[in-house]
Structure 1
Amino acid sequence: MFVLLLFTLSANAQDSTKVKKRIYTTKPLQGFEAPTINGLIDESSWDLVEWSGDFIENEPDENTPPSQQTKFKILYDQKYLYIGYRCYDKEPDKIEKRLSRRDGFAGDWVEINLDSYHDKRTGFSFTITAAGVKGDEFISDNGNNWDGSWNPIWYTATNIDEEGWTAEVKIPLSQLKFGKSKEQIWGLQVNRRFFRKEERSVWQRISQDAPGWVSEFGELHGLIDIEPQKQLEIQPFAVAQYDTFPAEDGNPFRDGDDFKLNGGLDAKIGITNDLTMDLTVNPDFGQVEADPAAIALDGFQIFFREQRPFFVENKNIFDYQFANGFDNVFYSRRIGRSPQGSVGSSPVNTEFVDRPNNTTILGAAKFSGKTKDGWSIGILESVTQREIAKIEDADGNRRETIVEPLTNYFVGRAQKDFNDRNTYIGGIFTATNRNLGDILNIDYDNPDTDETSELTGLRENNLNFLRKAAYSGGLDFRHNWKDRKYFIEGNFVTSHVEGSKEAIEATQNELTHLFQRVDADHVEVDPNRTSLTGTGGKLIGGKSGGGNWRYTAGVFWRSPELELNDIGFLRQADDIRQFANVRYLFLKPTKFYRRANLSFEQTSAFDFEGNFNRIQYEFNGFINYKNNWWTEVGAAHKPRIFTNTILRGGPRWRFSEENFAFLFFGSDSRKKFNFTMGYVNSGARQNNFTFHRYVLRMRYQPFNALSVSLNPEFERNPNKTQYVTEVDFNGTPRYITARIDQQTLSASIRLNYNINPNLTIQYYGQPFISRGTYTDFNYVNNPIASDLNERVTLYDNNQISFADGTYSVDEDGGGIDYSFGDPDFAFVQFRSNLVLRWEYIPGSEIFLVWSQGITGSGNPGDHLFRSLDNQIFGQQPENTFLIKATYRFVL
């Protein structure tokens, strides 16, 4: 009924005004000398074409004259596209020339968006700031995704004069993708930011209620007989790395320092102008910023974004988000992951272990692109090395054990556009295959040992939990109609994993699946199975443009046997969710605000046994005031919260009814000093749990070349029923929970200093401290009782005692029934990077990097700042110093 109501509302909603498409017609140089890229539009070749202007304001007051006008020209030859801009400014001394690193988009800027595929969904964006800083992004999903990891080679220069500022841009056609035809027709948009008024003006009007960005572009005509350029780039690199760390007495693997040289090769080969082959051999990711510190008491894996250039570029083609959008069939962080195996038999106190931090990527190849006929194609193949951990005892005897097998990863992705680019259908296939046939414990001190004896007597069990093979496949589609204002989309995923009985049993028992749940009738652990097959997907529809109303409604599911974590990301299976949301946009600015919106969403959740696990109602609002300050507010009510995972295989658990709310507000981000403050509060009935999060983000730019930001956060999360462990009580499982007082403090620090647009110094650091202390231990009595006091039973002082780091419990007065360890913790970590980056010629770089890290365990009884002092300031850090040089050959 709610979905029908939303569609009824849309029938009466105001439709967007039909906007006429503008056309710019370019011309070839025709024997004229190409413009010199110096920011001065004074060569005679520019006279071949006319200026185009008449820009219209897009933000904040759409379809009104902008404060300052802009105009541009476009020329081309067989190798390059040339763009000249004239950005008028009546007060040129107030033009904001802020420096930043590449893709910083600081100060005044102008950009061109080119939909060279003319698919009305994707495009290439080239931005130049008044200070001469480049920004380049690949646009996908009709403007909903802008990928700044794309770093093409192009050339630009700017100049400020009495009329404002000018810019010249030269873009190699090899960096763009287009089909072969007599005359090219590309989508075209030019967009300017006028910094002082935080105003955006555009060449092609795009109404605020438009269903997207790229689909609304004007057109670039006049590109006659240009030859598709087959890109060929080879980029070798060399790295010298020196590590220092605290030395450990007697440990041959930790003597205080280490030095190594490394090298490799990246290549980009244009198979056609549409399709590109990327190759990497022995890739190095040493200068990549460290992942933020995090700790998860619920046991679930934590998602970290991909930062490695090879995997980030063109990642939109390989993305296959399904269900709620957080899961993905392809999660590239699985490739090169930290080795998963243990060292087999637990090392004794006199043994030392040298374990690799990451799995070596021997090589990877990626074939991707989009054809003129509307095919998006992506194929990725990668092989990772077998990794070995070394163990040595005090007498110098050494053994080795495999902690990660030789593994092959494959991803294939395709999509086809139809119906004037209003419809697409696509598919994906992935495969992970591990070589588990050579997992041996190799005894190097007895080299004459018979190979047969090695195979039969020394086979290790430390990787038996790994699946031998994992396959997944899926189909997806989207259909837009009525000028893309309405849509329906969906996808389907199926997975199949194979392995030994031990591996598949371990999969069934993982937190993602929990087939061992004691009260589940629809799943059970089968120790004889050697494979699992599952499905997942979504079906949603709604209104994405036209008038002030937007809405979406749909359903998604993940079956109990769905398993994607060999090369994808899946947090939890056995889940069915329904959702519906409606949003109202205030599109016309007033004297009070520039823009605002309100939204309401309802969701509910079930498992495949039919249990009704959750329902939630949420309200959100956002307003951007006239002075560019802003406020975001939200609240939710959860009258029903059941979970199948909190007791880690135990019965279904009920949390008390919850309410939460948040409030964030911030100052004008254009100011030299700006900030964001926020507070999140959540609370459940009977104080079952509460959550408090305090956020402060500050940024200061004292002068154009320097910016500093500090983002401290503090969280406090007390909970009366935090899971501790499962024990055996007279043959019956006993689930132990307790009151926890968890406090977490973190602060990310960033510093950017720009000597010029191509020479920058960047610093990133993050101290992280999380402490949890447990009291009021109890055991689960009736896990689905609505009353917290019936849900758990507290131990009294006569039943529980603590000594030597162990809690002992005597429930019935007849002696110790069971015991468990002290769960208190204090996790402390500090990570930082200092990077000097010099792009000495376009596409070729030198990095000087200093990375530092400390990880420790503090005293849970100390307050957070004492742990900061003892574990970060009081410890010797691990340091990495490296020099990396690359040179890009463009052939």
Structure 2
Amino acid sequence: MKCYTCLLVLFLFPTIFIAQDSTSTVKKRIYTTKLLNTTETLTIDGLIDESGWDVVEWTGDFVENQPDENTPPSQKTKFKIVYDQKYLYVAYRCYDTEPDKIEKRLSRRDGFAGDWVEINLDTYHDKRTGFSFNITAAGVKGDEFISRNGNNWDGSWNPIWYAASNIDEDGWTAEIKIPLSQLKFGKSKEQVWGLQVNRRLFREEERSVWQRIPQDAPGWVSEFGELHGLIDIEPQKQLEIQPFAVTQFDTYPEEKGNPFRDGEDFKLNGGLDAKIGITNDLTLDLTVNPDFGQVEADPAAIALDGFQIFFREQRPFFVENKNIFDYRFANNQDNLFYSRRIGRSPQGSISGLDNEFVDKPSNTTILGAAKFSGKTKDGWSIGVLESVTSREIAKIEDENGNKREAIVEPLTNYMVGRVQKDFNQRNSFIGGIITATNRNLGDTFDIDEDDPNTDETSEVAGTRENNLNLLRKSAYTAGLDFRHNWKDRKYFIEGNIVASHVEGSKESIEKTQNSLTHLFQRVDADHVELDPNRTSLTGTGGKLTGGKSGGGNWRYGAGVFWRSPELELNDIGFLRQADDIRQFANLRYLFLKPTKFYRRANVRFSQSSAFDFEGNYNRIQYVLGGNIDYQNNWWTEVEMIHKPRIFTNTVLRGGPRWRFSQENIGVLFFGSDRRKKFNFTVGHVNSWTTDNNFSFRRYVLRLRYQPFNAFSMSLNPEFVENPNKTQYVTDVDFNGTPRYITAKIDQQTLSASIRLNYSINPNLTIQYYGQPFISRGRYTDFNYVANAVAKNLDERVTLYDQDQISFADDEYSVDEDRDGTVDYTISNPDFAFVQFRSNLVLRWEYIPGSEIFLVWSQGITGDGNPSDDLFRSLDNQILNQQPENTFLIKATYRFVL
């Protein structure tokens, strides 16, 4: 391990002490706005014909940013900005010598289709974050919150603002009006904001900007020009209240005898969202009984490795300002705050009998949530989130009408606190985070003697069971992070450290130790030990990395991160695996100047290695890749991966450390010009291993077609083959010795996502999303682990002979010692998982900020026949089955006070 520490030092130190490829500093442009005359009014209709605009001059002299940076653009652009005490107004004149070729594609808000122009405002002037307002030639609005110096654009931010566009013989024009209440800025005599205006000329796929930003710049926001002249504007304290009402009707296949599945349900619901400006910098968001019925369903997935699957957050309350709460400390998924934990599916188990029917809630009800967040003029980013979810109860009834209830989720409180402080002229920051999860596990219940459903002759009638003894009572995490940039932000060093502490009953902590994230019961691990008497766990994790992020053609970085064996984040965060130390290094070369062959290109190389806390050297891999965008806007991406060493502590689920054979992976994706009415992407991933241990073959096809401006469609079929000669099945006891059973699996997965989008106008859209998903696995050639770390596959496992294993009644019987007596049995692991999900949503923003949704959701989930091929499963389990349907109407009205 010492040699890898030296390697890390060799990679990291040059990033700290060596400056190279420096570029000349681009002069900052300044635009000075003026106050709109109080006698003037501006009508937002896309026609720049009011005299109020005459108080300021046009500014232009745009420069091309892509593809040929720092050259004159194909078409000229100019704009002007005025303001009053409530609004900021922007007018654009986008010249076009061929106005009949202006692309006027309609889409839903944030579609960014066709020709457009946008303004970026760094109102905090922190050179890291900003607000973006985009208007297309078709009049479609788009808005995003910019963070991480342009590396993250959050389209979930939906402020209230006004925009209109118009096409004429000189090109097209646009006007926008932004309420100052939708922006965040400090109080001062004169505001100085970062400013950028960016235009897309669609037919040339050309971007031109007001403030030049070199292609080798270390970021986006840090390079903005400046907006001056905002004198004595008063911070606007935002106050918005948005009540909503929802009616929902569900239909599904009736199950005879099941009182909970009579074929249909009807629900009426309501709630309230509010946004209160405590100061102009800081906002309090409140939600009471939120509804997320219009949110698109998660994509289907199945994981044979047993690890949890990460799904992105799509619920509006949690998505807005999520950058403030973000705390990724190791890789891109590990995070101290994973908002999908709030409102998750109930976790309690139910010990039902064969003749009982169960009605278990699909999600935990969020009783209420509050979020206090924002950023101050002095560089403080603050976020506090508090949420309470209800106790959830499953209803259970047998064939004789006897009833009981089981608690499947306790009343739970979630809290997240996040803070960051900028300093060193906004080139550095330091921050911290704390989270807390507390569950009320002590609920007790009495029989309601007045309940007419109580049958006192039954031993179970009218009772409630607490099934929560395996849940942790409380969980706390804390972290500190920092980042420092220097040399005009070309170089950086950043790091963080986290700590966790969980408490609960002996049973819950033992379950945590046994979980796939930890596996303290591993038979060959000397540094961890399963202790059934523990009632708490405390762990740490962190990261340290540095590198070169801008200037010249080269980029590089290196670092290390770790997650100790007892680190546990999954109450309100996301952690896939603990007990891990990783070193990584990367190098990238950018081809910044376009040629007659390509518009842009890069090549990259990375290396990483992994160890556990016992010092086992588990993994090393090398990646060489690159991508190129051709002059005709077609593109290619290629990658080659070599993994000469692959050991894992998790495959045998508590068994010994396991070795996979050496693996190589090839990746090739290419696609056509995405601007065209019809475009496509084709991709293939292929892995192969020594001894043909396993492989992974993925085939991707993405088709997109827009026959006319108001309608677009896409079809994304994907087929995956994942055969493996040593797929884990189970472990059994053989004469007092654990036997770890694996088998050859032939796994195939077929899926296809379908999207249809029709825009009647920019505020009235219809969208459809559907995804059939089928995954089938057949197991043969059963074997047991002989030497888990042997280099050769034949020494790693031992195949059962035909006289050792037999199959009957959906079960394998094994007579390993051939004495005529069955030593152990294995349940048939063959599977076929079939699912179909779809959403049809009509969305009408009848006034800015207020919406009506009409939603039709449909779903089918079931088990197919593993002996069928995939298309037969599609026919039998999806096309010929009665689906579950949800019809929903949701109306919101936003009061701006």
Give your verdict on TM over 0.5.
yes
- 1:780 corresponds in structure 2 to 785
Q: For 2:560, what is the secondary structure of its paired residue?
A: strand
Distance, in Å, in 2 between the alignment partners of 1:465 and 1:628 is 55
Contact 1:707 1:753 in 2 (8 A): yes
How far apart are 1:273 and its partner, in Å?
0.3
- 2:140 corresponds in structure 1 to 133
- 1:878 corresponds in structure 2 to 884
How far apart are 1:13 and its partner, in Å?
3.9
How far apart are 1:347 and its partner, in Å?
2.4
Distance, in Å, in 2 between the alignment partners of 1:281 and 1:303 is 26
- 2:685 corresponds in structure 1 to 680
Q: For 1:867, what is the secondary structure of its paired residue?
A: helix
- 1:249 corresponds in structure 2 to 256
Query: Which of 618, 631, 645 is the aligned partner of 1:640?
Result: 645
- 1:176 corresponds in structure 2 to 183
Distance, in Å, in 2 between the alignment partners of 1:216 and 1:728 is 65
Distance, in Å, in 1 between the alignment partners of 2:206 and 2:291 is 41
Contact 2:406 2:464 in 1 (8 A): no
Distance, in Å, in 2 between the alignment partners of 1:622 and 1:435 is 52
- 2:282 corresponds in structure 1 to 275
Contact 2:584 2:607 in 1 (8 A): yes
- 1:534 corresponds in structure 2 to 539
Which residue identity is paired with 2:370?
Answer: A
- 1:222 corresponds in structure 2 to 229
Q: Identify if the C-alpha distance between structure 1 residues 775 and 51 changes in structure 2 by more than 3 Å, giving closer, same or farther.
A: same
Which residue identity is paired with 2:496?
Answer: N
Runs of 4+ in 1 over 3 A off after TM superposition: 1-13, 439-450, 457-461
How far apart are 1:35 and its partner, in Å?
1.1
How far apart are 1:461 and its partner, in Å?
6.2
Contact 2:403 2:454 in 1 (8 A): no
Which residue identity is paired with 1:627?
Answer: N
- 1:651 corresponds in structure 2 to 656
Q: For 1:178, what is the secondary structure of its paired residue?
A: coil
Q: For 1:521, what is the secondary structure of its paired residue?
A: coil
Distance, in Å, in 2 between the alignment partners of 1:529 and 1:461 is 22
Which residue identity is paired with 2:544?
Answer: L
Contact 2:37 2:52 in 1 (8 A): no
How far apart are 1:164 and its partner, in Å?
0.3
2:419 aligned with 1:414: yes
Which residue identity is paired with 2:199?
Answer: R
Which residue identity is paired with 2:859?
Answer: G
Matches within 5 A, 1:675-714: 675-714=680-719
How far apart are 1:629 and its partner, in Å?
0.3
Q: For 1:4, what is the secondary structure of its paired residue?
A: helix
Distance, in Å, in 1 between the alignment partners of 2:577 and 2:198 is 42
Contact 1:549 1:585 in 2 (8 A): yes
- 1:390 corresponds in structure 2 to 395
Distance, in Å, in 1 between the alignment partners of 2:662 and 2:447 is 56
Query: Which of 797, 801, 804 is the aligned partner of 1:796?
Result: 801
Deviations 1:506-541 (A, max 9, x none): 100000000000000000111111000000010000
How far apart are 1:464 and its partner, in Å?
1.1
Distance, in Å, in 1 between the alignment partners of 2:13 and 2:556 is 8
Distance, in Å, in 2 between the alignment partners of 1:441 and 1:197 is 72
Distance, in Å, in 1 between the alignment partners of 2:542 and 2:465 is 38
How far apart are 1:6 and its partner, in Å?
7.2
Query: Which of 107, 118, 122 is the aligned partner of 2:125?
Result: 118
- 1:821 corresponds in structure 2 to 827
Q: Identify if the C-alpha distance between structure 1 residues 823 and 439 changes in structure 2 by more than 3 Å, giving closer, same or farther.
A: farther
Q: Identify if the C-alpha distance between structure 1 residues 341 and 85 changes in structure 2 by more than 3 Å, giving closer, same or farther.
A: same
Contact 2:747 2:778 in 1 (8 A): yes
TM-score when normalising by structure 2: 0.97
Q: Can you give the 5+ residue segments of structure 1 that lack an aligned partner in the other structure? A: none
- 2:837 corresponds in structure 1 to 831
- 2:110 corresponds in structure 1 to 103
How far apart are 1:346 and its partner, in Å?
2.4
Distance, in Å, in 2 between the alignment partners of 1:393 and 1:6 is 65
- 1:199 corresponds in structure 2 to 206
Q: For 2:794, what is the secondary structure of its paired residue?
A: helix
2:163 aligned with 1:156: yes
Matches within 5 A, 1:534-613: 534-613=539-618
Deviations 1:404-461 (A, max 9, x none): 00000000000000000001000000000000001669687896999xx99xx98856
Which residue identity is paired with 1:692?
Answer: R
How far apart are 1:325 and its partner, in Å?
2.5
How far apart are 1:567 and its partner, in Å?
0.2
Q: For 1:316, what is the secondary structure of its paired residue?
A: helix
Counting aligned pairs with the same residue, the percent is 82
Contact 2:405 2:463 in 1 (8 A): no
Distance, in Å, in 2 between the alignment partners of 1:758 and 1:286 is 20
Deviations 1:817-875 (A, max 9, x none): 00010000000000000000000000000000000000010000000000000000010
Query: Which of 734, 737, 742 is the aligned partner of 1:732?
Result: 737
Query: Which of 402, 406, 410 is the aligned partner of 1:405?
Result: 410
- 2:3 corresponds in structure 1 to none
Matches within 5 A, 1:490-509: 490-509=495-514
Which residue identity is paired with 2:883?
Answer: P
Q: For 1:327, what is the secondary structure of its paired residue?
A: coil
2:358 aligned with 1:353: yes
Distance, in Å, in 2 between the alignment partners of 1:446 and 1:198 is 68
Count of aligned residue pairs for this structure pair: 885
How far apart are 1:15 and its partner, in Å?
1.6
How far apart are 1:55 and its partner, in Å?
0.1
How far apart are 1:661 and its partner, in Å?
0.9
Distance, in Å, in 1 between the alignment partners of 2:264 and 2:158 is 35
- 2:480 corresponds in structure 1 to 475
**What RMSD in Å do the two structures reach over aligned CA positions?**
1.6
Contact 2:677 2:707 in 1 (8 A): yes
Contact 2:67 2:599 in 1 (8 A): yes
How far apart are 1:20 and its partner, in Å?
0.1
Which residue identity is paired with 1:880?
Answer: T
Q: Can you give the 5+ residue segments of structure 2 that lack an aligned partner in the other structure? A: 1-5
Which residue identity is paired with 1:809?
Answer: V
How far apart are 1:14 and its partner, in Å?
2.1
Q: For 1:328, what is the secondary structure of its paired residue?
A: coil
How far apart are 1:351 and its partner, in Å?
1.2
Matches within 5 A, 1:317-336: 317-336=324-343
Contact 1:402 1:440 in 2 (8 A): no
Distance, in Å, in 2 between the alignment partners of 1:7 and 1:535 is 25
Query: Which of 881, 888, 893 is the aligned partner of 1:887?
Result: 893
Which residue identity is paired with 1:320?
Answer: Y
Which residue identity is paired with 1:881?
Answer: F
Which residue identity is paired with 1:718?
Answer: P
Contact 2:443 2:466 in 1 (8 A): no
- 1:488 corresponds in structure 2 to 493
Contact 2:786 2:795 in 1 (8 A): yes
User: Which of 417-426 and 23-32 deviates more?
Assistant: 23-32
Contact 1:399 1:442 in 2 (8 A): no
- 1:521 corresponds in structure 2 to 526
Deviations 1:746-795 (A, max 9, x none): 00000000000000000000000000000000000000000100000000
2:519 aligned with 1:510: no
How far apart are 1:153 and its partner, in Å?
0.3
Distance, in Å, in 1 between the alignment partners of 2:39 and 2:218 is 42
Which residue identity is paired with 1:842?
Answer: P
TM-score when normalising by structure 1: 0.98
Q: Identify if the C-alpha distance between structure 1 residues 460 and 261 changes in structure 2 by more than 3 Å, giving closer, same or farther.
A: closer
- 2:322 corresponds in structure 1 to 315
Q: Identify if the C-alpha distance between structure 1 residues 445 and 888 changes in structure 2 by more than 3 Å, giving closer, same or farther.
A: closer
2:310 aligned with 1:303: yes
Distance, in Å, in 1 between the alignment partners of 2:74 and 2:623 is 39
How far apart are 1:813 and its partner, in Å?
1.5
How far apart are 1:34 and its partner, in Å?
2.2
Which residue identity is paired with 2:696?
Answer: F
Which residue identity is paired with 1:260?
Answer: K
Contact 2:11 2:557 in 1 (8 A): no
Distance, in Å, in 2 between the alignment partners of 1:476 and 1:740 is 44
